[in-house]
Structure formats: C-alpha cells, structure tokens
Amino acid sequence: MCSNKQKYQVIEIGIFNPDMKEIDSLGPGEVGYISCNIKAIQDCRVGDTITSAANPTPQAVPGYKQAKPMVFCSFYPVNAEGYEILKEALEKLQLNDASLMYEPDISEALGFGFRCGFLGLLHMEIIQERIEREFDIEVVATAPHVVYHVLTKNEEIIEVKSPRDFPPAGEIEEAEEPIVEMKIIAPSTAIGGVMDLCQSKRGVLQDMTYLDPSTVIIRYHLPMAEILFDFYNRLKSVSRGYASMDYEFFGYASSNLVKVDILVSKEKVDGLSFISHEENAARRARELVTRLRKIIPRQMFTVTIQAAIGGKIIAREDVAALRKDVLAKCYGGDITRKRKLLEKQKEGKKRMKAVGKISLPQEAFLAVLQTEEQ
C-alpha cells in the first residue's frame, strides 16, 4: 500500500468472470481483485497504489489524494435507546465507505451522538438516508458546518471543529476557512442571477466560458461554509431549474472569522455560540436572538438575550418578566391535585437547562444547530 506503507500477505488473486475466479497473476491492463488479511478498513483507501513489498515501486500511480472530510454534521438518535443502533450503523457503513469519519459527540440539547465528516453535501445526504433506510432509526441531523483553521499568536494551528474550540479574539493571528472551486453550468439568460447569488455568498469570480451561445460555464471561488446553506436551492430558483453545479475543495484562505457568543441574562451560554464571517455575523446574530426570544418562555425575571463578539454587543432582545400567572381557585380542597399540577410543571422546568436564575428550553439549543434559513 503506497500511501501508508502497510504490508499484507496476498491470499488470493482473481478476476471477475463475472463471478470471482481465482488466477495466478494479474498483468498490465487487467482488472481483478486481490484478497489479503486487512483488518482495518482505514488502511485501504480508494485510489491507492498497491505494490510488491519485496520490490516496491519508487513512485505511486499519480492522482491519488487521500479523501478528507470537508463537511461535518452531527447525528443524534431521536430516542436515547437509538444510540447503540446508530453506533453500529456507522461502523457498518464505514466498512464499505472508508471516507466516512465519525467520532462520539455530546450536545446540551440532543444528548449523545456522533460527529461525522463527509466529502461533501451529497455524501452527507447519502449517509443520512442510508442510516435511516438501512438501519431503520430516526436521527436528528444538525446543520452542516466546516472546519476552520486558526493560527494563534503563539504560532499554534488549531483546527476548529466546533465553536467551543475557537480561541478568544485576542489570541488569533489569522483565521482561515475552506474555499471550494465551483463550476456552474447555466443558460446564458441566468448569468445575472447566478452572479448575484455567488456575489452575495462572498464568491470571487474566476472566469466564464461559453460552451455555445446559450450555455455558459461560470467558475467561482466560494467559501465552503456559504454553500452549505440554501445555495443549491437558490441556484435552481435563479436559473429556473436549468443550472447545475459541481465543486471541489480548493484550499484554505484567510478570512475575517469571528465567534459570536450568546449571553442569556449576562451569562455566556456555550451551546449557543457560533462562528461566522464578520460580514454576516450581525445578521445571523439578530436572527438567532430574535428566534431565541420567541423560544424562551417568560420567567420570574426579565431575560436579556445578547449576542456579542468579544466584548462588543451586536444584537439584543428581551423576554419580558412574567407578570401574571393563572390564579385559580381550589375547589373542594383537592390539594393533592394542585400539588400534582405543580409537580408536573416542575418536571417540565427540570428538563430545561438552568443558566443562573433562567431556564432555557432544549429548543433554544436546537435553534442554533439547525439550518437557519428555514
């Protein structure tokens, strides 16, 4: 195996005829299979070159690139019992898809789950579909996100997989985000719409070639984070369904990234932070804060919801204090019933997360995880 220098003993060599048929050797131009005692699926990458251990080739066949997950998203079972089944499902899927990566994850809102890495959006959708169809479990998928690179002032490079890992603004020398090269084939009538869309997604036009007078290929460099949400849909809508897109990873590029923290009654709530490009931060912060105001119920005290970048507040909403409860009579002295009603309310409150004197419902954490532009 050229990429990782692993050595295995070949047990069988064969061709497809169309069933597997054992033969003695495979020569130039021939297609077939080999069978060895490979134990870990990760050792066997698609596109790799196999060579003889006794007489290795100095140069692997060119073109091999290790598949590297670019898009990440977490899966959580809808029921806690589903965790084991989900784990098994991912293990099995990985057996025939070495590019799928996953690691255990825990969320304040959704409990135990897995953080998975995919080659792209299509890959992610396929895996999600397969988990649900082949293993018959319902999963909650969080909004897809990308991995950022941050170079700190101590010249350390941090891979930021979740807002938790993002260092404070003062320690950042430079932040980078993944960029894709996007090829869009569209009818020439849709050029205006497509360019508007790409521009609004922080795209940089590379070139534009006419295939024929009515069809054009437009090449853009776009931040990957921007195409994860609502890009494909809008592309289809601006081109009346005619445009098609294709993208590949281009590289990391320096970008003005900021971490937006959400403060609930002045206390920072970890699970609600998000990373965004500075340009979009204010808009996304306002959207989230407005959504949280609708989700967080009125409580004994006024709840202030603030979005902040470092020490600077960029958005704020208040949930007014509860002014009045239902004041009920108590008929016939049924105190037990009254107590049970209160206990039931208390249960509901316990399921919420306490931040200081404020209780946050789970939906609040979901609000930040799920796709925004719904």
Partner 1 sequence: MREIALYIHVPFCIQKCRYCDFVSYPYLQPESISDYFKVLTQELQIRTENDKLQNVVLKSIYFGGGTPSLVSPEILNDFLLLLRQNFRFSESIEITVEANPGTLNSEKIREFAHLGVNRLSIGIQSFQNRFLSFLGRAYREKEVHNLLIDLIDTGLFLNWSFDLMYGLPFQTFSDWKKEMEHLLMYQPPHFSLYNLTLSHQVPLRIFLKKHLALFPGQDWEASIYRWTQQILRKYGYRRYEISNFAKPGYECLHNLTYWRNQEYLGLGVSSSSYLGGIRMRNASTLSHYQKRIKNCQSPVVTKDILNLKQKLAEEMILALRTSEGVETEKLFKTYPESLVQEKLIQLEDFAQSHFIHEREGRWILTSRGTLIANQLFLEILD
Please report, as residue ranges, which positions from 38 to 67 form the binding site for partner 1 (by CB under 8 A).
none
Stretch that binds partner 1, among 17-25, 85-93, 107-115, 298-306 (CB under 8 A): 298-306
* 312 near partner 1, judged by CB under 8 A: no
Nearer residue to partner 1 within complex by CB, 7 or 339: 339
d(CA 60, CA 265): 59
Q: How far is the CB of 339 from partner 1 (least distance, A)?
A: 6
Secondary structure of the chain in the HEC alphabet?
CCCCCCCCCEEEEEEECCCEEECCCCCCCCCCEEEECCCCHHHCCCCCCCCCCCCCCCCCCCCCCCCCCCEEEEEEECCCCHHHHHHHHHHHHHHCCCCCEEEEEEECCCEEEEEEEECCHHHHHHHHHHHHHHHCCCEEECCCECCEEEEECCCCEEEECCHHHCCCHHHEEEEEEEEEEEEEEEEHHHHHHHHHHHHHCCCEEEEEEEEECCEEEEEEEEEHHHHHCCHHHHHHHHCCCCCEEEEEEEEEEECCEEEEEEEECCEECHHHCEEEEHHHHHHHHHHHHHHHHHHCCCCCCCEEEEEEECCEEEEEEEECCCCCCCCCCCHHHCHHHHHHHHHHHHHHHHCCEEECCEEECHHHHHHHHCCCCC
Q: How far is the CB of 318 from partner 1 (least distance, A)?
A: 14
* 349 near partner 1, judged by CB under 8 A: yes
Nearer residue to partner 1 within complex by CB, 246 or 334: 334
Nearer residue to partner 1 within complex by CB, 207 or 347: 347
Q: How far is the CB of 305 from partner 1 (least distance, A)?
A: 19
Nearer residue to partner 1 within complex by CB, 5 or 266: 266
Instruction: Work out which of 346, 354, 356, 371 binds partner 1, going by CB under 8 A.
Output: 346
Angle, in degrees to the nearest 10, between helices 278-295 and 362-369: 150
* 300 near partner 1, judged by CB under 8 A: yes
Q: How far is the CB of 327 from partner 1 (least distance, A)?
A: 5
Q: How far is the CB of 358 from partner 1 (least distance, A)?
A: 12
Q: How far is the CB of 341 from partner 1 (least distance, A)?
A: 8
Which DSSP symbol is given to 209?
Answer: E
Site string for partner 1, 116-155 (x = CB under 8 A): ----------------------------------------
Q: How far is the CB of 334 from partner 1 (least distance, A)?
A: 4
d(CA 187, CA 30): 42
* 11 near partner 1, judged by CB under 8 A: no
Q: How far is the CB of 217 from partner 1 (least distance, A)?
A: 52
According to DSSP, the β-strands at 303-309 and 267-268 are: unpaired
* 240 near partner 1, judged by CB under 8 A: no
Q: How far is the CB of 353 from partner 1 (least distance, A)?
A: 16
Please report, as residue ranges, which positions from 316 to 345 form the binding site for partner 1 (by CB under 8 A).
320, 322-337, 339, 342-343, 345
Nearer residue to partner 1 within complex by CB, 213 or 333: 333
Size of the site for partner 1 (CB under 8 A): 27
Binding site for partner 1 (CB under 8 A): 298-301, 320, 322-337, 339, 342-343, 345-346, 349
